[in-house]
Amino acid sequence: MDFSQNLTLPSVSATPSQWYFLSLVNVYLFGIYYANKNIQYNYVYEESVAGKGTDEVNSMLFHFIQKIVVANGHQKLTIYADNCGGQNKNNFVVKMLLGLARESGAKG
């Protein structure tokens, strides 16, 4: 799981002007590779919707685990992440994963 580089797009304006291509909006892409099915799942959203912090990572990871992993009947999850302490390698993400494991009765 990882965030890609920010993608920039021209912002939509009701009346395009000379500032049309100067006022860019960031689009974030958070990807999770699901090795069991050899599929990449991407969460794409605009900067005005949310940031790139722990809450966003936990929300997307929780959604992926509940809707994809658990829904497909898998009980084992292996996660690889980069070394970004602010997003995916911090106490809040680890605690969320630990809470999900305890809730599911996982043993390990």
**Domain locations along the chain:** 2-104
For tokens 């630990």, name the residue: 98
Residue 64 has pLDDT above 90, yes or no: yes
Q: Is the pTM of this model over 0.75?
A: yes
The model's pLDDT over 34-51, given as tens digits with 9 standing for 90+, comes to 988 899 999 999 998 999
Q: Work out the average pLDDT over 78-85.
A: 78
Task: Kindly tell me if the per-residue pLDDT of 7 is higher than 70.
Answer: yes
Query: What is the rounded CA–CA span in Å between residue 52 and residue 3?
Result: 8
Six token digits for residue 32: 């999770």
Give the model's pLDDT for residue 12: 63
Residue 1 tokens read as: 């799981």
